[in-house]
Amino acid sequence: MVYVLDGKPFEGPASLFSGDLLFLSGCGRIFEGTPETMLASLDTAADLAEDTLLWPGHEYASECLMFARLLELENPVLEQKLQWVNQQRVEKRSTCPSTIGEEKQYNPFLRTHCPEVQEAVGMKRQRDEDWDTFRARVLKEVRLRKDVFKAN
């Protein structure tokens, strides 16, 4: 379950309290449901305003960013965020919140449409394959790789 708090009454950005759906540079496991359902939920979150604050249910930013870096070695925004997160950790500070706009730049689970992520997991769209079906296959593969990833 997720909650979106409209920021208009407070003259601020909206906030997404994402529970286990979306983390900083990560997403929850697909225990129940399907990759297609998870993709639809992630797409709904990604469609929120760019300045929507992301408040995840867990603090996994460092590990998730290290995993994302394996998929996109040439993503300078990802590298900058990882350095910032590491500094926050040294100073014993939280890494939350992020924003939807930031996440769309480096969160591999929100980037299944990007050729860089597709190529990193060795996925190619099949002839006549529906776009969302292909993206769900990419999401499933990224999630499987994240499930076995061990941060140093």
Residue-wise pLDDT tens digits, 135-148: 999 999 999 999 99
- pLDDT-derived band at 149 (thresholds 50, 70, 90) equals very high
Bridge partners, 23 (sequence order): 26
Give the rounded distance of the alpha carbon of 92 from its chain centre: 23
Number of domains in the chain: 1
pLDDT attached to residue 71 = 97
Q: Are 101 and 16 in contact (CB under 8 A)?
A: no
Q: Give the CATH number, domain containing residue 25.
A: 3.60.15.10
Band of the pLDDT at 7, cuts 50, 70, 90?
A: confident
- Return the bridge partners of 55, or none: 17
pTM value? 0.94
Task: Please give the structure tokens belonging to residue 71.
Answer: 């998929």
Angstrom distance (rounded) from CA 61 to CA 23: 7
Domain span at residue 92? 3-148
Query: How far, in Å, are 43, 96, 139 from residue 89 at the CA level?
Result: 29, 11, 28
Instruction: Among 5-19, 46-60, 135-149, name the one with the lowest average pLDDT.
Output: 5-19
